[in-house]
Structure 1
Amino acid sequence: MTIHPEIAKILATIPAPDGSPLDPAAMRAGEAAQVPPPADRLPLHAVEDRTAATPSGDVPVRIYTPVDSDSYGLLVYMHGGAFFLGSLDTHDHVARSLAKETGFKVISVGYRLAPEAAFPAGLRDSYAVLRWAADNGAELGWDGRSLAVAGDSSGGNFAAALTAMAKDDGWQGITHQVLFYPSLDLDFDVDRYASMRENAEGYGLETAGLAPFNAFYLENGADPADPLVSPIKRGDLSGLPPALIITAEHDPLRDEGELYAKRLAEAGVPVQLHRYAGANHGFVANFSWLPEFYAAFRETAQFLTGNEQP
């Protein structure tokens, strides 16, 4: 189907790229200016800023407690932003909605950003917070059963990579992975996936912008063929946790997410795949005010809990 009309209205107001060099500081400031004040955010039982003391250093986290309860499943969430944008604040609404709909306690990771900290800094921060959450489960009220990872776009890259890191470490703690329109292949050959050409222009994220956007993350010489850089490059996907992969119809990254789902299933991993029609890249973060896209949070809840959401 065509792009959702409400998305189309906003896309029409975005100027075409002019080829100017990217300015991370200016782009981050622009994002920060759009963050709503705390009083206008979805209320939860508790939201707390903490510092997780980890082997990767002190990592800022924001912990979202949906309701007052004796115990919770835990969900460690990594925001998107091409590895150099996004923050605890820009994706606060995503974490709040995940907590509200799933009933899990959500731990949002304020990982280090490129170019100040290129690969693998942010990934190491995220993995360290994941292990910190498990190690501090009693304090966090963890039920000891469900420990999920989730991420959107580049955060989905981290979430997928974390499952592989855990497996290679011999740690079986992750019970679910949730990938929203994940960036899984940082080799941006435009002929690798049909969606790279089908959705190349006019849908917000443009194929021509992928390489320069992700160059900050790779500028220390990281190899896109490394499975920790491009999780889809991992040869053996068996033994990874069950996955929910959500893709967008009008997204250059659509086909890599769907191929990853196919490869997981072929490796014996339980997978749920849902392509959201009429959606573009970033719709969970940018357009969840539309009921048909907010449904992604309820779908996540059903996947994590096994319960049908109202």
Structure 2
Amino acid sequence: MGKYVLKRLLVAIPTFFGITILVFIISCLAPGSPLELLLADPMATEADRAVLEHQMGLDDPIVVQYFRWLGNMLRGNLGTSYRTNLPVSQMVLERLGPTLLLTVISTVIAILIAVPLGIMSAYKPYSAWDYISSGLSFVGASTPTFFTGLILIYVFSVKLGILPMGGMYDSGTRSILSLMKHLILPAAVLAIFNIGSILRQTRGSMLEVFQEDFIRTARAKGLKERIVIIKHGLRNALIPVVTVLSTMIPFLFGGAVVAEQVFGWPGLGNLMVQSINARDYPAIMGITVVIAVAVLIGNVVVDIVYGFLDPKIREKR
């Protein structure tokens, strides 16, 4: 297992650098420049622009700019934001906690809802329950997160007035109760989007497992149906479900970008949009580093979980 984890980490290293190269090139080639924000004075001349561009190193070739950023990043320096003039590491750390809270809570909610629904749908396939749960999951997965968010805001905030429209805390307070109230709607939006994928995969995997000989043997021994489903069925059906969860990690951060914008949640997604609009290259790259590392570590963790779920996989490693 240790050799396998090391191998996966070694594979993740070039992947990480490939991600940073692509994002850096795309950011630099995008229309606009941070100079437009920094030189807001209408009296500024082209000479002023050229001097500032040289001071910031933006007149160097993209390759030189990238390796300069890379060298600083490897020394633990993510640079200074063009927009706020604050260290990027400080800005990222302040926004990382809210984003992790939102994505983790929404994922847990999605799993707690989708896995039981998938098991029940597979246990009674083609029943009314199966059609209803599958239909609702398809609707949730196919509806854009921003549209779902606007509907929830309209119903629960505008019409019913029981939940806040956005933000992370009520004005003047930072209590746990206030945080939980503000977390409900954005977490629900991300959970609704992810329930469909998890439910469909759980249902399909459980249907295959229910046809296996060891399930019929367990039932023939007189084991309780609950034990047959959970102990013998679910564990063998979890590997494809875990695979789906691993592929969802990038989409979780992508969905968080939209949800954070809709609900004004002060996370990495919100910061990313602000940084892109301002062409704040150091902030964009700092956020990219954090998300890339999170996704790569998540994939390695999923591979380790495979070994615990399936002894055959563990022996091969």
TM-score higher than 0.5 = no
Structure number with higher strand proportion: 1
Length-normalised TM-score, structure 1: 0.23
What TM-score do the two structures reach when normalised by structure 2?
0.23
Q: Which has the higher helix share?
A: 2
RCO comparison, higher one (Cα < 8 Å, 6+):
2
